[in-house]
Amino acid sequence: MDSTAILVQVPATGQEASPQETNPRPIQTAKSPVDKTLSGASDLLKLLPTGTVLAFQALAPSFTNHGMCHTANRYLVLALIGACVVSCVLLSFTDSLVGRDGKLYYGMATFWGFWPFNFAGAAAERDATFRDLARFRLTALDFVHAVFSAVVFLAVAVADASIQSCLFPDCGVDIRELLVNLPLGASFLSSVVFMIFPTTRKSIGYTDMTPHSHSQ
């Protein structure tokens, strides 16, 4: 026999591979703190006005200098967060409806009814266009949703890595762990509140923008 010959071992026809070879067991890895933060933040975004969230996400990297903050950057970040919180609160009081003329009107709920932004008619024309605007007046539930919208946005803001590096540069392990898990807790609490006490507002910038009609 030639010493340079190569022996090739062919498995028998009836021989089957072991289950470990054919179906390898998937490797399960635990979620990292970053994955937990992003998952919680993505759920929270559904409870916030889209325009406010997009404005924050667009301006935060520049205002924080990508996490390398100076004193001026911290003031800019605090101003940005404050403006977005005010926006979330005010937009919680907005509403929309279709008038008798078939046009869509956006406005703000007040203690007396509904104040449409895009209607400039006289009082007689208002009465002819709208009916029973008093049913759109502010209630205690609107303030509950406004407060929780502000809480949700603050949780989203502090979950941002650049915001954490800018506002909490020297925080310890305990504070860092709190910031990582804060969006998850805020998401759960706010979701429970919004589910138990749902709002009928068709607020500007939110996901549900189907306006009210006078038949509702």
pLDDT in tens, 181-194: 887 788 788 878 88
- What b/e string do you get for 202-211 counting C-beta neighbours within 10 Å, with b at 16 or more? bbbbbeeeee
Q: Helix or strand or coil: residue 156?
A: helix
Contacts of 41 (CB under 8 A, 6+ apart): 155, 156, 159, 160, 183
Which pTM value belongs to this model? 0.68
Residues 6+ apart with CB under 8 A from 137: 109, 110, 111, 112, 113, 114
CB 179 within 8 A of CB 41: no
pLDDT of residue 205: 64
Q: What is the pLDDT of residues 18-33, one digit of tens each?
A: 444 444 444 444 445 4
* Spans of the chain, pLDDT less than 50: 1, 3-8, 10-31, 33-34, 36-43, 215-216
C-alpha to C-alpha distance for 87 and 149, rounded to whole angstroms: 10
